[in-house]
Structure 1
Amino acid sequence: MYISENNGPGTVLRPFSFNCSSYMPTLELLSVRPPTSFFNKPSMHGDKGVYLVMVSLSSSARLDALAVNQYELQLQYRCGNFVVDGSIFVHVQRDPGRIRCTGAFASPTGEFIYVPETITPGALVYTLLLPGVQRAQINITSAQNPSPGPFSIDEQGLLRAPSQGLRGQAQKVNVALDLGMSMDWVEAASCEKLFVFDYLD
């Protein structure tokens, strides 16, 4: 069965049913792989030997298709002396309109990048991995003085050294990158991250 990563606590997975006419059946959630507390124990409602089973997302559920895109729920069904073990596979689908501050933008602390003073002017310094968006506008919003000049970054996340190079800049300079992300069918979102450049002589 499929579920969007946008679904949160209380969302019911697609119900399924089974028959047990002579006994009071039980259904137990034995395990979840990979291990998680995102799924509640299954509930059953029966009428005339037909039982409807529902499994819902727990209060701790935070689905992220980039982190885990499939869960296996191992269940055990018992009707009298008849016992069956089986699995339900829950496929988590990505929401293309969901924007996350991931990677370098997920940490509250600065990330250190070591750059030699002898680096070629305009050379690639760092590649920023964008969190799955189709179009992004990235701006360098501030640079702590003294700064050797403007770094540049393009929409692909390629950060380049200043055009005049870094000679004589063997000192730390903080450069804050503001990643403003927008897509055609969603509201704009913004992530910010501090990078600390350490120039090596």
Structure 2
Amino acid sequence: MTRSLATGVIACAIIAAPLQAPRAQEPIAPAPIDVRQAYATLLGLDLEGEEPVTDGETDIYRSSPDSAQAPRLVTRLEVSGNACLVRTTSALQSPGGWAVLSLTRVDLRKVEYAVAYASVDDLIAGRNPLPPADPGARQMVLEGRGLSCTTRISLDGASNGAASACEDRLDVSMIDGKQTARVRAALDLMAQMCGMEAVGR
């Protein structure tokens, strides 16, 4: 079995498995499709409105790179138990290389502050901040202590175990009119469910 094929088999097996099996005495109902779609939008998985492969409980998004040499990304999105908490498992692999697995947990209950910008340049420079509800906003930043935590594992065996880190922010892009409409709808839905008052200011 070639290295790439073996990597693909391992990555697919891990992505197909739940991150944490629920206890038998505590059944967890899957989140509604609109909640999963909202997370896909906020996490940038449906940048062009891509439709996922779904089993009714989880959704799997695959990147469609233009070049055969571009890295492939497959992401499994799962929302269960608490609608304000999402878990994703991603496999990123370059042709002929080993895959890197990323397990991420985002908790929208931790959002304490939100700010918007009219462009990527303003975002990078941290200049000309806008209220989150400003119609001219094209970049949104949600902030909160430990908002997003990720563990990365390389399958090449050379790294020293898993590397974990938490971020206090989540960047959300609104490149065009269609994406802006999807982001606004997603933020409205999740703000109501998770008490994110900051995004409406």
Which TM-score applies when normalising by structure 1?
0.23
Q: Please tell me whether Structure 1 or Structure 2 has the larger radius of gyration of its CA atoms.
A: 1
Structure with greater helix share of residues = 2
Higher strand share: 1
